[in-house]
Amino acid sequence: LVILLAEHQTIIKQLHQLNIATFTVKNNTLAGIQTSIQQIGERTGQQKQASTLNNTILHKIQHIQTKTAGLARPTVMLAMGHSLGDDQMRSVFIAGQNDFYNDLIYLAGGENVYQDRRLKVPTVSAEGLLKLNPDIIFDIFPEAHEHDYDLSQVKNQWQSLELITAVKNNQVHIIEQGYATIPGPRIFLLLEQMAPLIHPELDWEMQQ
């Protein structure tokens, strides 16, 4: 059994031609990820383990929602990719309103600074970034050291946009963990990572 995302239609057709069983999941939202965990558990005879995992995830979500309830929501921008060719930030791919990153931002107590629903992965220019002016920026560079990314250059690029509130207040956070780009169970670790950075005024050391 090969488990694939629903958008991998070409691969699905090729596997079917080889008589290889496939199962497609829709992991573009957090709710979809939780549903797929249960579905995969059912298909593989691991229903109990899947339910336990989903219950653990639900507990973490509820814990964070309880802690951040009633608090003001800072505007958050999540960057998903940009060129490292020079010291100036030219354009950035950011999370829109239609994916699991948007869900994570909201559950972590923030508000996605990009509100247009027309594009799944918008590209924003330096001028557009200044106009959006997020309070907090998360920049995802998974496994940066393994891929020889120069994170000091990434930081310098953001510093070139010093008029942005997040840059001015030292609220640009580079996320290096590999799970940050994989729409599976470990993506909820990113939720636990983001929430204390969005709401540092809270005590996150308490027992969860």
Give average pLDDT by consecutive 10-residue segment, the chain, 208 residues. 85 90 88 94 94 95 95 96 77 92 96 90 92 96 68 86 95 92 91 96 75
- Residues in CB range of 154: below 8 A, 6 or more apart: 84, 139, 141, 174
Q: pLDDT value at position 146? A: 62
- For residue 143, the model assigns a pLDDT of 66
Q: Give bridge partners of residue 140 from the DSSP assignment.
A: 175
Q: Does a structural domain hold residue 180? A: yes
What is the DSSP secondary structure assignment for residue 181, as one 8-state letter?
G
Amino acid 142: pLDDT? 80
Residue 205 lies in a domain: no
In a domain, 206, yes or no: no
Do 57 and 91 lie in a common domain? no
Q: What are the structure tokens assigned to 101, written together?
A: 């990153």
**Residue 3 CB: number of other CB atoms within 10 A?**
15
Same domain, yes or no: 109 and 86: yes
Q: Can you give the pTM of this predicted structure? A: 0.88
- Residue where a domain terminates, one of 24, 43, 68: 68
In a shared domain, residues 103 and 29: no
Pair (88, 146) in one structural domain: yes
Sort strands 2-5 and 22-25 into parallel, antiparallel or unpaired: parallel
Same domain, 181 and 94: yes
88 and 62 within one domain: no
Same domain as 183, residue 89: yes
Domain assignment of residue 18, given as a range: 2-68
Phi–psi pair at 24, nearest 5 degrees:
-100, 145
Domain count, the chain: 2
From residue 195, give the alpha-carbon distance in Å to each of 36, 119, 191.
24, 25, 6
Residue labelled with tokens 């060719």: 85
Same-domain pairing of 90 and 182? yes
Q: What tokens were used for 28?
A: 């573009």
Tell which of 29, 44, 68 closes a domain.
68
CATH number of the domain encompassing residue 184: 3.40.50.1980
Judgement on whether residues 79 and 64 belong to the same structural domain of the protein: no
Q: Identify whether 32 is part of a domain.
A: yes
Q: What is the pLDDT of residue 147?
A: 57
208 lies in some domain: no
Residue that is last in its domain, among 51, 68, 85: 68
